[in-house]
Amino acid sequence: MELKFTVSAHIAKPAHEVFEAVVDPAKLSNYFTTGGAVGRIRTGATVQWDFADFPGAFSVEIVQVEEDRRIVLRWQAHESVPEGSSESSRQDYKTEVVMEFKPLDNNRTLVTITESGWRDTPGGLKSSYGNCMGWSQMLCALKCWVERGFNLREGMYV
């Protein structure tokens, strides 16, 4: 079975504004990477994302960027280690995230995020569920920040 999910949200702002809220590290740090983001999202770049509630920066490899339309990135799967297993049993691999920004009528944007590539293991399944929750919350936080200017993520996980 392929471990993959897709989440989406409608945002009441034009696609360019929503896209910029994701690719600009200063904007992204206001609602998602609350520990800071380093580097603008551009094809071929590697950026750093840090989360105040999950300390430790994550390297994010940017595979493809289509201005105002699409972002493809890869990052560590961080597959959960089953209880009773040693940390050394963790296998190192990356998942792929595709973010799509579809302009709609009335200056609205449909943002869709799909993540795939976990191994079909109990740990892969558990990690995919965790990331599904994280990306769903990212979309909610993006919507709140872009539409209303407040940080929904603050205090969400701690």
Domains parsed from the chain with CATH numbers: 3-81+89-148 (3.30.530.20)
Least confident among 33-42, 48-57, 133-142: 48-57
Count the helix, strand and coil residues of the chain and give each as a percent rounded to the nearest 5: 30, 40, 35
102 closest CA partner among 15, 41, 20? 15
Average pLDDT score over the chain: 92
CB within 8 A of 85, min separation 6: which ones? none
The DSSP code sequence of 79-97 is: PPPPTT--GGGPPP-EEEE
Q: Please determine, for residue 82, whether its predicted confidence score (pLDDT) is greater than 90.
A: no
Q: Please determine, for residue 23, whether its predicted confidence score (pLDDT) is greater than 60.
A: yes
Cβ distance 26 to 17 under 8 Å? no
11 closest CA partner among 38, 36, 31, 41? 31
At 90-120, the pLDDT tens digits run: 568 999 999 999 999 999 999 999 999 999 9
CA 18 to chain centre: 14
Cα–Cα distance, 143 to 124 (Å, whole number):
28
> pLDDT tier at 85 (50, 70, 90 boundaries)?
low
